[in-house]
Copies of this chain bind each other. A is one copy, B any other.
Amino acid sequence: MKTEPGCPLCSDTGGELVWRDDRLRVILADEPLYPGFTRVVWNAHVAELSDLVDADRARLLDALVRVERVMREVLSPAKINLASLGNQVPHLHWHLIARWPDDAHFPAPVWAATDPKRVAAAAPRRDAIIEHLPAYREALRQAFA
């Protein structure tokens, strides 16, 4: 498997490991404003989606959809946000973020400027998600079993 010296997603899991196989892994990210923030990380060091051969791309898409379905079923968000950016860590990884009108940035992307008042006001939403995290983890594992 291709690895890159110095790449944090080659040397580390990148978060709490929920599931992995030889091609990809599903992790819970450490994003305090967004509990449940999930990443699907391609294990090999590849920069772009179009670097994958067709079968691998289909496998990745399938994993994204599995996570998205569990997120919707267990967390019931208003919207799902998906993104593959990788400007800082050009190792293919996808962000899956459950969004609600009362979260810290809605309807702006989670990468928009942070307003401390919005962050404070979003505490009840974060608490509600945290309560569902054990069920979310378990449902994710079942979805990939």
Which residues of A are interface residues toward B (Cβ below 8 A)? 47-50, 57-58, 61, 64-65, 68-69, 72, 78-88, 90, 99, 106-109, 111-113
Q: How far is the CA of A69 from the CA of B50 in the complex (A)?
A: 7
Q: Give the shortest distance, in Å, between A67 (CB) and chain B (any CB).
A: 9
Knowing that A48-B72, A50-B68, A112-B112 touch, tell me 10 more A-B residue pairs with CB under 8 angstroms. Answer: A48-B68, A49-B64, A79-B85, A79-B87, A81-B84, A81-B86, A83-B83, A87-B107, A111-B112, A113-B113
Contact A82 B49 (CB under 8 A): yes
> Would you list the 5 A-B pairs with minimal beta carbon distance, nearest first?
A87-B107, A83-B83, A109-B111, A113-B113, A50-B68
